[in-house]
Amino acid sequence: MRKIIINGPCEISGELEVQGAKNSILPILAATIISRGECVIKNCPNILDVHTSLEILNYLGCKTKFEDSTIVVDSSQISKNEIPENLMCKMRSSIIFLGALIARTGRAKLTFPGGCELGPRPIDLHISALKQLGILINNIHGNLECKIENKIIGADIVLPFPSVGATENIILASIICEEKTIIENAAREPEIIDLANFLNKIGAKIYGAGSSKIIIEGTNKFNKINKTEHAIIPDRIVAITLMAAAASTGGNLILKNINPDLISSAVPIFEESGCLIKTHENNIKIISPETLYSVKEIRTMPYPGFPTDAQAIIMAMLSKAIGTSVFVETIFESRFRHIEELIKLGAKIKINGNVAIVDGNKYLSGAKLQAHDLRGAAALVIAGLASYGKTIITGADYFLRGYDLAKFPNFLTIN
Ligand code: EPZ
């Protein structure tokens, strides 16, 4: 496995542009197969999960090109409606091709998705919702064989949890239905809004994205060949990562191409730790304090609450803060695997169920670490940048699944 090598400490200062959002480009790439035309997607991050999505699109018969942050997908010819396990297992977002394939071909055959090991990560909410739309789903030895029974029927679907992926799959599968579909308790993440905006450009009629009630008025007007252009929103989790890297290393950093509203739930946490945050239209400036202070409580919640994807990242930052910070992880069952690695650097952290208690230690020292998931890897990178001496992180590909090195501080050596 490739490694990340950091010789710390490295002050993260200056200006950086935030990459396009991984959790926006992935569902939108799946959605391009519905357009039947040419889609030009701008501000795409050069990350491993995007390349996996392009592999899936090529396998299905699309023509794709990725140059200078722009991806062009020609989905006029689709030759398959199944995705092999070796592609499905590489990321969680492969499951979103289920809804897109149903909308385009009426059938889909795929296995369970892969993705970060954050607990069991079931897809029961996807399956129960898609069945309400009239889709037959048989699980035959781990292969999901799906097809529209007669026709997609409109439904009023109430999600027991605002699942991001389930919301996306319902939207994708229902946009071809002649009747109306309503999603209650829908996920409200900005990436849902971005997906809906893209789909409305190719002819869908989706209202209320970003709220907990989304209405999809079906249409079958996707068969005209046309050209669609769309720019991906900035990655709010990468923005928080870069801010935490600056705060952990005593840096002053300006982030460009980021709407400050996207990270509004994280700003109070940076301010409570002693950072000065200045926001202006599409820029954010963070000035870190001489000494970081602890934050009373960080509780992860569905959007617009504090994002679970930033939990490990902020924990790495506060591992250096004076005082005790309490983290409560409410979204995933097992999202603390970065803690055993942070402790190797000298962090003082105790776990009690879904609660982690961090007693800051101003001086962390480099060590050999193992990454276990994407955001956990980002946390180890931040802690490595803030530690004295060499840090070697095994599992670089976890980090590269979501972070575009061209838009990250060049203190990392990958080999
Ligand atoms: C998306 O994952 C993101 N991934 C995750 O980001 C993010 O952490 C998560 O949403 C929550 O915000 C992408 O968008 C590609 P969920 P997803 O369905 O859709 C349970 C990253 O680092 N659940 O909202 O898989 C589930 O187990 C990644 O960028 C069910 O029980 O998240 C979890 O506890 C990590 N049954 C909770 O809901 C289901 O059918 C949230 O899951 C689906 C989910």
Pair (39, 11) in one structural domain: no
Extract the tokens encoding 75.
Answer: 């989905």
Residue that terminates a domain, selected from 167, 196, 231: 231
Mean pLDDT of 324-353: 96
Q: In terms of residue numbers, what domain contains 87?
A: 22-231
Measure 355 CA to ligand 1 centroid, in angstroms. Answer: 19
**Is residue 241 domain-shared with residue 171, that is, in the same domain?**
no
pLDDT in tens, 167-225: 999 999 999 888 999 999 999 999 999 999 999 999 999 999 999 999 999 887 776 66
pLDDT in tens, 268-323: 999 999 999 999 889 999 999 999 999 999 999 999 999 999 999 999 999 999 99
Q: Give the ligand 1 atom nearest the CA of 91.
A: 15
pLDDT at res. 121: 80
322 and 385 both lie in a single domain: yes
Same domain, residue pair 299 and 344: yes
Residues 168 and 255 in one domain: no
Mean pLDDT of the 242-259 span: 97
Q: Which ligand 1 atom lies nearest to the CA of residue 162?
A: 24
- Measure 158 CA to ligand 1 centroid, in angstroms: 17
pLDDT given at position 225: 61
Give the tens place of pLDDT for each residue, 62-111: 999 999 999 999 999 999 999 998 998 888 888 999 999 999 999 999 99
Domain count across the chain: 2
Residues 15 and 148 in one domain: no
* CATH number of the structural domain spanning residue 93: 3.65.10.10
With a 6 Å cutoff on the Cβ, whether 124 touches ligand 1 is yes
* Ligand 1 site-directed mutation target among 19, 95, 161, 330, most atoms within 8 Å of CB: 161
pLDDT of amino acid 312 = 98
23 pLDDT higher than 80: yes
SS3 annotation, the chain: CCEEEEEECCCCCEEEECCECHHHHHHHHHHHHHHCCEEEEECCCCCHHHHHHHHHHHHHCCEEEEECCEEEEECCCCCCCECCHHHHCCCHHHHHHHHHHHHHHCEEEEECCCCCCCCCCCCHHHHHHHHHCCEEEEEECCEEEEEECCCCCCCEEECCCCCHHHHHHHHHHHCCCCCEEEEECCCCCHHHHHHHHHHHHCCCCEECECECEEEEECCCCCCCCCEEEEECCECHHHHHHHHHHHHHCCCEEEEECCCHHHHCCCHHHHHHCCCEEEEECCEEEEECCCCCECCCEEEECCCCCECHHHHHHHHHHHCCCECEEEEECCCCCCCCCCHHHHHHCCCEEEEECCEEEEECCCCCECCEEECCCHHHHHHHHHHHHHCEEEEEEECHHHHHCCCCHHHCCCCCEEC
pLDDT at res. 224:
65
The average pLDDT across 225-246 equals 95
Same domain? For 207 and 326 the reply is no
Distance between CA atoms of 13 and 254, rounded to whole angstroms? Answer: 8
Q: Do 139 and 284 reside in the same domain of the chain?
A: no
Judge if 320 and 171 occupy the same domain.
Answer: no
Query: Which whole number is the average pLDDT over 242-269?
Result: 97
CA dist., res. 92 & res. 112, Å (int):
9
pTM of the entire structure? 0.97
Residues 283 and 401 in one domain: yes
Same domain, 221 and 275: no
pLDDT-derived band of residue 166, with 50, 70 and 90 as boundaries? very high
The catalytic position among 39, 62, 116, 146 is 116
Q: Which of 205, 231, 257 is the last residue of a domain?
A: 231
Neighbouring C-alpha atoms within 13 Å toward the C-beta of 135: 33
Mean pLDDT value across residues 349-370: 96
85, 57 contact by CB (below 8 A): no
- For the residues 121-135, what does the mean pLDDT come to? 94
pLDDT tens by residue, 374-413: 999 999 999 999 999 999 999 999 999 999 999 999 999 9
Which band of pLDDT confidence, cut at 50, 70 and 90, is reported for residue 113?
A: confident
- Cβ of 163 closer than 6 Å to ligand 1, yes or no, is yes
Confidence band for 229, pLDDT divided at 50, 70 and 90: very high
Place of tokens 């140059």: 67
Quote the radius of gyration of the chain (alpha carbons, Å).
Answer: 21
What gap in Å lies between CA 83 and CA 107, rounded to an integer?
11
Question: What does pLDDT average to over the chain?
Answer: 95
* Boundary-marking domain end, from 176, 201, 231: 231
163 CA from centroid of ligand 1 (Å): 6
**Do 309 and 265 touch, CB atoms closer than 8 A?**
no
What pLDDT was estimated at residue 104? 94
- Note the pLDDT of residue 188: 98
Residue 337 Cα to ligand 1 midpoint, Å, equals 17
**271 and 296 share a domain?**
yes
Indicate if 116 belongs to the active site: yes
- CB 159 near ligand 1, within 6 Å: no
What angle, rounded to 10 degrees, do the helices at 96-105 and 124-132 form?
20
By alpha-carbon position, which residue is closest to atom 20 of ligand 1?
121
